Amino acid sequence: MNSQVGKYLFLICSFIFWLFLALFSSKLIVDNLTSGHHYSNLVFNLHYLKNSGAAFSLLQNAREFLIIVSIIATTLLFMFVHHNIRSIHYISISFIALLSAGIMSNCHERIVLGFVRDYIQLKFINFPIFNVADIFITIGVIALVVILLAYKGK
């Protein structure tokens, strides 16, 4: 029983940490960019953009739909942990927390601001501008796919 409680606490604490980090970093970076500060190096530059859609300019101005999908996705991820609490490993929980925090960070911005703040622009490839929450989502999805494929063989 203690192991299960520990897993729930780990999920909640990890989720809150990653969510805070995504929201705090976005606010800090955007506040600096809108007050005239600029940053650029060989790999990326910071360029503020208001994104009213999802990744790759999909679903522009579909704010309510994206909010609903975000809430459903996060709920399903937490339900997955709950239903598999006895067998799920901490590493899987950590990536589910990371993925959920990225989703909910973007959801929070859509609810509060009406758009998502994007600001990281890669220089070496033509790629849409993104934010820290998008990085969390990408890492979470890739890690969970790798974990699922690794366990599929066992």
| Interatomic CA distance for residues 19 and 138, integer angstroms | 15
Determine whether 134 is an active site residue: yes
Q: Is a pLDDT exceeding 70 seen at residue 131? A: yes
Which strand (E) or helix (H) includes residue 30? helix 2-34
Q: Is a pLDDT exceeding 80 seen at residue 14? A: yes
Other C-beta atoms closer than 10 Å to the C-beta of 23 total: 20
Q: Percent of the chain, pLDDT > 70? A: 96
Catalytic residue (choose from 118, 120, 131, 132): 118
User: In the predicted model, what is the mean pLDDT of the chain?
Assistant: 92
pLDDT digits (tens, 9 = 90+) for 15-63: 999 999 999 999 999 999 999 898 999 999 999 999 887 776 677 777 8
Q: What is the pLDDT at residue 132?
A: 97
Q: Is a pLDDT exceeding 60 seen at residue 1? A: no
How many CA atoms does the CB half-sphere of 44 hold within 13 Å? 12
Integer angstrom CA distances of residue 124 from 91, 107, 128, 135: 32, 29, 12, 17
Determine whether 31 is an active site residue: no
Helices 2-34 & 132-152, crossing angle to 10 degrees? 150
Q: What is the pLDDT at residue 154?
A: 59
Catalytic residue (choose from 99, 117, 134, 137): 134
What is the average per-residue pLDDT within 115-131? 93
Select the more confidently predicted residue: 111 or 154: 111
Q: What is the pLDDT at residue 62?
A: 79
pLDDT digits (tens, 9 = 90+) for 62-81: 789 999 999 999 999 999 99
Q: What is the pLDDT at residue 65?
A: 93
Q: What is the pLDDT at residue 57?
A: 66
Domain boundaries, the chain: 2-35+46-152
The DSSP code for 50 is E
